[in-house]
């Protein structure tokens, strides 16, 4: 990516090469997993980690998180994989993902607009089961995603809550234009507000297992501990964490 520097450039090139070899996944499937992502530019992603890492290092981490999230998405059977992003990020993410996913520009600004765009773009086609998934939970067990898709056969909405009051996924099998209207997504009450809005729309809701995403240093520490024991859950992220901890222990930057 033109605006990206450091080790992530080599990583991205390697990832793109493997993407071109594997080809697209299940285009036209009745199940769609849409990753909510941004282009991994220094200073624009995971900014709350800035107290412990440089913008370039955080952008490298985001590359790893997104690549592992794509790998998790593609491990599901008969699921179309897409990325929803701001219009300004389409070119960079298309370069990053190669043939791993369809890249779609959201309409409007912010995460609420992005989520609305997901279901307007994908959910309106023959009532496909559509799940919007964040880009920084590659450690999530695949069974949780599979179960979320199965849940949509019986419920209007499925939500995966995070421990900080937000949510890491939301799925629906139809379009509900006001579900995310005027929502402040990055707050501790996002999950509660989504539940309230779903109740107002008289939607049946199922809840998946609670989990966490990587927003602050404590989240990164927790992820590091988990991946030290099971690096195969998110191998690229595990390698980044191992390299970063090695540099810290030797005093290198």
User: Whose CA is closest to 67, among 15, 103, 144, 23?
Assistant: 15
pLDDT tens profile 123-171: 766 678 999 999 999 999 999 999 999 999 999 999 999 999 999 999 9
Residue 29: predicted pLDDT: 80
- pLDDT for res 6: 37
Res 185: pLDDT? 54
Q: Please give the chain's pLDDT, 253 residues, in tens.
A: 323 333 343 444 444 444 444 444 556 688 999 999 999 999 999 999 989 899 999 999 999 999 999 999 999 999 999 999 999 999 999 999 999 999 999 999 888 899 999 999 997 666 789 999 999 999 999 999 999 999 999 999 999 999 999 999 999 999 998 998 766 555 688 999 999 999 999 999 999 999 999 999 999 999 999 999 999 999 999 999 999 875 554 445 4
* Contact in structure between 112 and 167 (CB atoms under 8 Å): no
Q: Which residue has the tokens 């995403």?
A: 213
Q: Which residues pair with 167 in a beta bridge?
A: 161
Q: Which residues pair with 132 in a beta bridge?
A: 34, 170
Residues in CB range of 148: below 8 A, 6 or more apart: 131, 158, 160, 169, 171, 208
Question: What is the predicted pLDDT for the residue at 20?
Answer: 42
Domains of the chain: 8-215 (3.90.550.10)
Tell me what pLDDT residue 91 has.
Answer: 96
Secondary structure in 3-state letters for 11-58? HHHHHHHHHHHHCCCCCCCCEEEEEECCCCCCCCCCHHHCCCCCHHHH
Burial class (CB in 10 A: 0-12, 13-18, 19+), 242: middle
Q: What percent of the chain is helix, strand and coil (3-state, nearest 5)? A: 45, 15, 40
DSSP letter, residue 88: G
| Single pTM value for the model | 0.87
Per-residue pLDDT at 247: 53
Which segments of 119-158 does DSSP mark as H helices, in order?
Answer: 142-151
pLDDT of residue 189: 87
Predicted pLDDT at 2: 29
**What order do you get walking across the sheet with 80-85 strand by strand?**
102-105, 80-85, 31-36, 129-134, 167-172, 157-161, 205-207
């Amino acid at each position: 990516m033109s605006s990206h520097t450091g080790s992530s450039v080599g990583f991205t090139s390697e990832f793109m090469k493997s993407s071109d070899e594997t080809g697209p996944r299940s285009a036209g499937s009745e199940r769609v997993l849409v990753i909510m992502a941004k282009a991994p530019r220094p200073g624009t992603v995971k900014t709350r980690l800035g107290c412990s890492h440089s913008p370039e290092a955080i952008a490298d981490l985001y590359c790893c998180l997104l690549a592992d999230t794509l790998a998790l998405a593609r491990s599901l059977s008969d699921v179309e994989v897409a990325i929803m992003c701001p219009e300004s990020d389409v070119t960079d993410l298309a370069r990053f993902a190669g043939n791993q996913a369809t890249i779609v520009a959201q309409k409007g600004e912010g995460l609420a607009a992005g989520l609305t765009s997901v279901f307007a773009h994908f959910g309106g086609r023959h009532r496909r089961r559509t799940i919007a998934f964040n880009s920084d939970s590659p450690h999530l067990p695949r069974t949780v995603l599979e179960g979320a898709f199965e849940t949509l056969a019986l419920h209007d909405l499925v939500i995966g809550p995070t421990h900080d009051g937000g949510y890491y996924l939301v799925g629906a099998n139809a379009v509900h234009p006001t579900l995310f209207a005027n929502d402040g997504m990055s707050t501790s009450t996002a999950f509660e507000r989504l539940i309230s809005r779903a109740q107002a729309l008289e939607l049946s809701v199922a809840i998946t297992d609670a989990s966490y995403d990587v927003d602050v240093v404590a989240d990164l520490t927790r992820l590091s501990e988990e991946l030290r024991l099971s690096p195969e859950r998110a191998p690229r992220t595990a390698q980044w964490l191992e390299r970063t901890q090695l540099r810290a222990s030797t005093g290198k930057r």
